[in-house]
Amino acid sequence: MCIVRVRRNHLVRDALDEIARQKAKDLFKPLRVHFIGEDGIDAGGVKKEFFQLLVAEVLSPDYGMLCYQPESRTYWFCPVTLEAESSFLLLGLVLGLAIYNGVLLDFPLPLALYRKILGQEVGLRDLEDMQPALGKSLRALLTWEGEGRVEDVFCQSFVVDVPSFGSVTSASLKPDGEALPVTDENRREFVDLYVDFWLNRSIHVQFEAFAKGFLMLCGGPALQLFSATELERLVCGNPFLDFDALQRAARYEGGFHPEHRVVQWLWQVVGQFNAEEKRLFLKFFTGSDRAPIGGLANLRCIVQRDGADSNKLPTSHTCFNTLLLPSYRSREKLADRLKLAILNSEGFGLE
């Protein structure tokens, strides 16, 4: 076993330290996670929560490793960062560990990153996917055929503005770029250099360290069998959630069966949840709010009767995709208890 022990209130630092101290061969062993001071025994569910909480903290602006791109709702490497290369290597290892241990992550990275991992070239179309407004501006520059010269209309030189800890600095795209205007003749060169800066040059150190960590666990000839989209699905799962398929695939224990009134109420209530509530229910039930490759029909989920009617909340064994549901006396009570449970479901035991 590869055993990782972490504290919730020092999750990122503990996790990176614990992963860094492992021998390379131990990373290929089944991962077990223990939250210090908690009672949870990791049969899979604690591990899922560990990865989800770790990713959520790493994506926080406090760490300055990744920058949020609101137009595409994805994260990209910050061109200017105080984090060491080792931190990006360990971040790549975290993604590799999640894949290796079959844990889906809510880690919205653009397809450009997966293309780079696969050794594919990235270009303007990738930048358009990540930052549509910027991509549209560059495309407009390339296709401009209106009145006036390009240098008079766009007033652009061979420089790029780079956000840096709340301020903006300028970087030259080529020697003496500040004094070189973009013209009809060199606008293609400008766009190529601009795209290369954002997707390659400015984040070269961060990406290379990240890729090295990722490929330590997930490298090899088999990786080339995947497309960028398939690799993304391997990390993040399928965002499309077909709860009808989940219902069809569900099994029942403890006296429940598909026609039992409580089971019928359960699926009626879930069917009336909004999209966010459905994701919370799935996370409460299985430990992940994404579907595995192949969809929710591939989840082996169990709904088990947990005693007669009572005021206690539904519980779950996320390790085994099992929902423990009391036999509530009314649909309204089931809906109230279930909503309360899915909104307050973090943690295994008391610290």
Could you read off the pLDDT tens digit of each residue along the chain, which spans 351 residues?
Answer: 788 888 988 888 888 888 888 888 888 888 888 888 876 555 566 787 888 788 888 887 777 788 899 999 899 999 988 888 888 988 898 888 888 888 888 788 999 999 999 999 999 999 999 999 999 999 999 998 888 888 888 999 999 998 877 788 899 999 999 999 999 999 999 999 999 999 999 999 999 999 999 998 888 888 888 999 989 988 888 777 888 998 998 999 999 999 999 999 999 999 999 988 998 998 888 877 778 777 787 778 899 999 999 988 998 887 678 899 999 999 999 999 999 998 876 544 333
d(CA 61, CA 113): 19
d(CA 279, CA 292): 13
Evaluate whether 92 touches 213 at the Cβ level (below 8 Å): yes
Q: What are residue 172's phi and psi, to 5 degrees?
A: -80, 140
What pLDDT score was predicted for residue 346? 58
d(CA 261, CA 243): 18
As given in the structure block, the two tokens for residue 297 are 């029909």
- Residue type present at position 8: R
Evaluate whether 52 touches 25 at the Cβ level (below 8 Å): no
Q: What are residue 112's phi and psi, to 5 degrees?
A: -55, -35
- The CATH fold assigned to 124-195 is Hect, E3 ligase catalytic domain (3.30.2160)
Going by C-beta distance under 8 Å and a sequence separation of 6 or more, which residues neighbour residue 345? 280, 283, 284, 316
- CA dist list (Å): 222 to 6, 38, 133, 227, 346: 32, 38, 36, 11, 36
For the chain, the structural domain boundaries read 2-119+203-236, 124-195, 243-342
Does residue 319 have an active-site annotation? Answer: yes
Q: What are residue 291's phi and psi, to 5 degrees?
A: -90, 145
pTM of the model: 0.75
- Determine which helix (DSSP H) or strand (DSSP E) holds 160, and give its type and residue range: strand 159-164
- The CATH fold assigned to 2-119+203-236 is Hect, E3 ligase catalytic domain fold (3.90.1750)
What pLDDT score was predicted for residue 348? 40
As given in the structure block, the two tokens for residue 268 are 């009626």
- The CATH fold assigned to 243-342 is Hect, E3 ligase catalytic fold (3.30.2410)
Catalytic: which of 67, 78, 155, 319? 319
- CA dist list (Å): 14 to 40, 111, 249, 336: 18, 29, 38, 37
